[in-house]
Amino acid sequence: MRKQIVAGNWKMNNDLKTSKSLVKKIIKKLKNNSLKNTRVIVAPTFVSLEKVSKKVKKTKVEVAAQNMHQAKSGAFTGEISAEMLESVGVNIVILGHSERREYFCETDAILAQKVDTALKNNMEIIFCFGEILEDRKSENHFNVVESQLKNGLFHLEATAWGNIILAYEPVWAIGTGETASPEQAQEMHAFIRKIISNKYNRDVAENVSILYGGSVKPANAKEIFSKEDVDGGLIGGAALDADNFVALVNSF
């Protein structure tokens, strides 16, 4: 049975002090939650990763990085490698977020390399993709999503999919307050499972967790998460507040 996941992407928010206090509050509020089939992940900025990852040790909360470089090491000023993440206890990484694609020119080809590097280092990947508003308006959204998945992930062997979590994030819904309707999310998630099943097999498609991302908050999470093919959320804004974030975890 695939896992339900709530992952908080803190983006470029929270310094070291606020990161530590936010994760502490989250841990405390989740204390009495058995989290049987639910994983809770937080993704602070690089500077807070080590301390936050220490804080979550022996708790059910996990830590992810928001990005990493595809090379092993070398002259890449300002970048962070998979091994560096590993050295501070981080083995989950978000790749392909639309903000990375848009503002930092991360192409499908670069992302495919990052995916390979992460997997080589036994990391788990939260792979993000999703269409922009024009694609949705021109009804090209299925094609866009299919090509992002094909170019970023379909070179992998079926066995590698055990380390992949998908996050469908329509760009028009990120940070805009506008969410895809639960029906739109379900429709796309079912489509994603279908193309994975066609490329690989039913098992791979059924076992991969597919998160929805884009203005998820406590007020709309229950309905979205209740959809058959939606296995949780990648959360931006609402993940910055412990009460909201924990309310999302409790929305299944």
Q: Which is nearer to ligand PGA, 204 or 221 (CB)?
A: 221
**97 in catalytic set:** yes
Query: Does 235 engage in binding with ligand PGA (CB under 6 A)?
Result: yes
Residue 141's identity, in one-letter code, is: H
Work out the burial of residue 138: count CB atoms within 10 Å of its CB; fewer than 13 is exposed, 13-18 middle, 19 or more buried. Answer: exposed
Q: What is the distance between the alpha carbons of residues 55 and 35, in angstroms, rounded to a whole number?
A: 18
**155 in catalytic set:** no
Give the residue among 99, 84, 13 at the shortest CA–CA distance from 50: 84
List the x/- string, 8-37, binding to ligand PGA by CB under 6 A: -x----------------------------
Residue of 97, 131, 141, 189 marked active site? 97
C-alpha to C-alpha distances, 38 to 33, 58, 181, 225, nearest whole angstrom: 10, 16, 23, 12
- Helix, strand, or coil here: 166? strand
Tokens 């974030």 — which residue? Answer: 245
For 151, the token pair is 């170019």
- Cβ-closest position to ligand PGA: 236
Among 236, 244, 246, 249, binds ligand PGA (CB under 6 A): 236
For 71, the token pair is 């090379």
List the x/- string, 192-231, binding to ligand PGA by CB under 6 A: ---------------------xxxx---------------
List the x/- string, 158-187, binding to ligand PGA by CB under 6 A: -----------x----xx------------
Q: Which is nearer to ligand PGA, 162 or 175 (CB)?
A: 175
The residues annotated with a catalytic role in the active site are 97, 169
The residues that touch ligand PGA, with contacts defined as CB under 6 A, are 9, 169, 174-175, 213-216, 234-238
